[in-house]
């Protein structure tokens, strides 16, 4: 993390997770900017809507939707995206926004459900073992 030259004000994101950085008594968590946040969400939305195609707009929507799910407190710690521990919920929320976009752009090959969130969540694979 680029703390010294920027006086602790820089926000950093890498393709892999780095350990926390201690600077001036604060702990910063270097951001991880990786496609594992967006690709599964786009794929899920495209799959459940049977979208005619995947567009650049969907990936832009995915990036923004993912980033908008992190809190101000997380940003103060240096996180650009929600923590990996909440990856499934992050991806589902993002997929709902992308599915909404797909319906709004008339790219879906299925009828729009009354509640996209409930409908999309019902399609998720939930492994259960006895």
Domain count, the chain: 1
* Contact between residue 27 and residue 86 where contact means Cβ atoms under 8 Å apart: no
pLDDT value, residue 47: 97
**Across all residues in the chain, what is the average pLDDT?**
86
pTM value is 0.77
pLDDT in tens, 65-82: 998 998 888 877 767 788
- What CA–CA distances, in Å, run from 49 to 35, 39, 106? 21, 15, 10
Q: Residue 109 is part of a domain; what is its CATH number? A: 3.40.50.10380
Q: What is the C-alpha separation between 66 and 125, in angstroms, rounded?
A: 21
- Whether residue 75 lies inside any domain: the answer is yes
Residues (pLDDT < 70) of the chain are: 1-13, 31-32, 78
């Amino acid at each position: 993390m680029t703390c010294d030259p920027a006086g602790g004000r820089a926000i950093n994101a890498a393709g892999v997770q780095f350990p926390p950085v201690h600077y001036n008594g604060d702990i910063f968590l270097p951001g991880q900017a990786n496609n594992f946040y967006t690709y599964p969400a786009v794929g899920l939305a495209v799959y459940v809507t049977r979208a005619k195609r995947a567009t650049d707009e969907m990936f832009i929507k995915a990036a923004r939707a993912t980033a908008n799910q992190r809190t101000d407190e997380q940003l103060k710690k240096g996180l650009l995206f929600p923590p990996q521990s909440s990856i499934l919920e992050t991806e589902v929320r993002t997929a709902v926004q992308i599915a909404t976009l797909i319906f709004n752009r008339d790219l879906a090959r299925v009828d729009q459900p009354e509640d996209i969130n409930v409908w999309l969540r019902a399609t998720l694979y939930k492994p259960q073992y006895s």
